[in-house]
Amino acid sequence: MEGWITILMAAGKGVRMHSAKPKVLHRVAGVPMIGHAVAAARTLDPSSVPMVVVSPDNRAAIARELGDGFEYVEQPEPMGTGHALSVALKHVLPQAANVLLLNGDMPLITSDDLRTLGETHLGRQAAITVGVATLAAEDAVDLGTLRRGARGKAVAIIEAVERTGQSAPTVEVAVGAFALDAVWVRGAVDRLPPHAHGEYFVTDLVALAIADGLRVEAVALNSVRPCIGVNTRAQLAKAEQEMQGRLRQQAMDAGVTMADPSTVYLDATVGFAPDVTILPNTTLSGTTSIAEGAVLGPNAQISDTWVGSGAVIGSAVINGSSIGIGAQVGPFTLIRAGSTIEDGAHIGAHVEIKASRIGKGTHVGHFSYVGDAVLGENVNIGAGTVTCNYDGQNKHVTTIGDGAFIGSGSMLVAPISIGAGALTGAGAVVTKNVGPGERVAGVPARQISQRPEATANEEGQSLG
C-alpha cells in the first residue's frame, strides 16, 4: 500500500514507570517498545519515512536509539495526543493520502493487524478507522471506550477521565492505532475541543467525522489484547511475558526443539535454523544466530553470537563471539566479546576466553584463561594454563602455533610466541619466545632435550 505516512507518538514522559529513560525505550524481548511498533508499521508502506513525535527532553535519547531513517518532530508542550498529531501534520507532505497514527508504547502490535486496519480503511473509504479490542471492564479503567450508535456504528470514543456510569462487564477500547484520511484530518485536527488542563485528544476525531457526515470504521486488533500500551513496570512485564510466548512459538514452528519452552528466553532479534535444540534455562539475546543442529544449554546465556551447525554449548556465557561448526563449549565457561572458536574446537569446564581466536580442533580443557591470544589448529592447552596478557598498563598478544602442547599450569607471559609443535612442561613460566618444535620447562622456562625420556631423567620431572 502506497501513499501512507506513519506517525508514532513518543512524547509522553511515562511518569508511572519511575525511570529517567523515555518510556518508549524500555525494552521488550531486547527491543525498545517503539522499535516493535515501527517494525509492524512499516508493512503499510515500507518506502515511507516514519515520523516520531518527541518531547524536547527525550528527543536526543530516542533519536540515538532509533538512529537515521526517521523524521523527528518536537511537541514543545505536553498538550495531549491531538496536539501531538497537529504538530506532526505540519510536516506531512501534501501528497500523503493516508496517515497511520500509532502509540509508541505498543510492543505487541503486529504487522498483520496493522495491515488489516489499513486495508479496511481504504476499502471502506473511511475518514477514520479505529483499532479496538474487547476487554473486561476492570482491565479498561485507563482506556478510552468506544461508543456505538444505530446499527452498531462507531460514533465516539470516551476517554477514561471523562467516563461515568460504566456497568457493562466488557467494553470496547481504543488501543492507540488509527488510520486517517490525510486530507480530512488536516482540517479536522484544528477543530478538536480542549479538555481539562488544555489537552486535546485524538479520540475526539471520531465524533468530528460523524458530525461531518463521514464514515468511521472500527477494526478489532486482537494482537494487543494482552497488554494495550505500557505505562507501568507491571505492564512491561506482562508485555514481555506475552512476547516471549510468541517468540517461543515462532521458533518451534520453524523447527526448534525446546525441552521446556517456559524456561527459554529470546530476544526478537535472534535467528534460528531448523533442528536446533534449546535446553532449559537458556537465554538468547541480541543479534544471535543459531545454525542447524546446534544444542544449547541447559543454563546457557548467549548474546550477539553466531553458533555454527552441530555446535554443543553447555552452561556457558558467550558474548559477541563466533562458535564454529561442531565446536564444544562448557560447562561453566565464559567466552568474552571478540572471540572466535573455530570448527571442532573444544572449550571445557571453567575456562575463560577473551578476544582470542581458537583454531580448528584445538582443546582448551579446563581451568584456563586465554586472553588476547591466537591459537593455531590442534593445539592442546593443559589444565590451569594462563596467558598473562596484562602488564598493569597494556594488553599483549600470545601466539601459539599449530600442534603445540602447553603443559598444565603453564604461565605464558605476553607478548610471546610459541611455535608450531612446541611443548611447555607442566608449571612452566614462559617469558621468551619458543621456536617451532622446541621444548621448554621450568621457572623461568628454558630449553630442554628434544627427547622426552631424556628430559624426564635430566630434569627430574615429567612433562604434562
**Alpha carbon distance 157, 315 (integer Å):** 52
pLDDT of res. 345: 98
CATH 3.40.50.150 fits 255-459, yes or no: no
DSSP state for residue 207 in the 8-state scheme = H
Here the cell at position 230 is 505500557
**Alpha carbon distance 294, 165 (integer Å):** 58
How far are the Cα atoms of 45, 67, 100 from residue 42, in angstroms, in the given order?
6, 16, 10
Domain spans, the chain = 4-224, 255-459
Catalytic machinery residues: 366
Q: Which of 159, 172, 187 is nearest to 81 (CA)?
A: 159
Measured over the CA atoms of residue 79, residue 84, residue 86 and residue 91, the dihedral's sign is: positive
How far are the Cα atoms of 143, 173, 201, 323, 399 from residue 89, in angstroms, in the given order?
24, 25, 15, 49, 61
DSSP state for residue 404 in the 8-state scheme = -
* Residue 422: strand, helix, or coil: coil
**Is the distance from CB of 57 to CB of 25 less than 8 angstroms?**
no
Q: Which residue has the cell 494495550?
A: 228
* Choices 3.40.50.150, 3.30.360.10, 3.20.20.70, 3.90.550.10: CATH for 4-224: 3.90.550.10
Phi/psi for 207 (5° steps) reads -65, -35
How distant is the alpha carbon of residue 426 from its chain centre? 44
Positions of the chain with pLDDT under 50? 451, 453-464
Q: Which of 10, 28, 3 is nearest to 74 (CA)?
A: 10
pLDDT of res. 463: 38
pLDDT of res. 141: 85
| Long-range pairs of 458-463 with CB within 8 A, sequence gap ≥ 24 | 459/425, 461/425, 461/426, 462/426, 463/407, 463/423, 463/425, 463/426, 463/439
**What does the DSSP assignment read for 45-102?**
-TTS--EEEE-TTTHHHHHHHH-SS-EEEE-SS---HHHHHHHHHTTS-TT--EEEEE
pTM of the predicted structure, to 2 decimals: 0.91
pLDDT of res. 47: 86
Percent composition of the chain: helix, strand, coil (DSSP 3-state, to 5): 25, 30, 45
* Residue 160: strand, helix, or coil: helix
**Alpha carbon distance 397, 418 (integer Å):** 11
**Alpha carbon distance 379, 358 (integer Å):** 9
Angle between helices 111-123 and 33-41 (to 10 degrees): 40
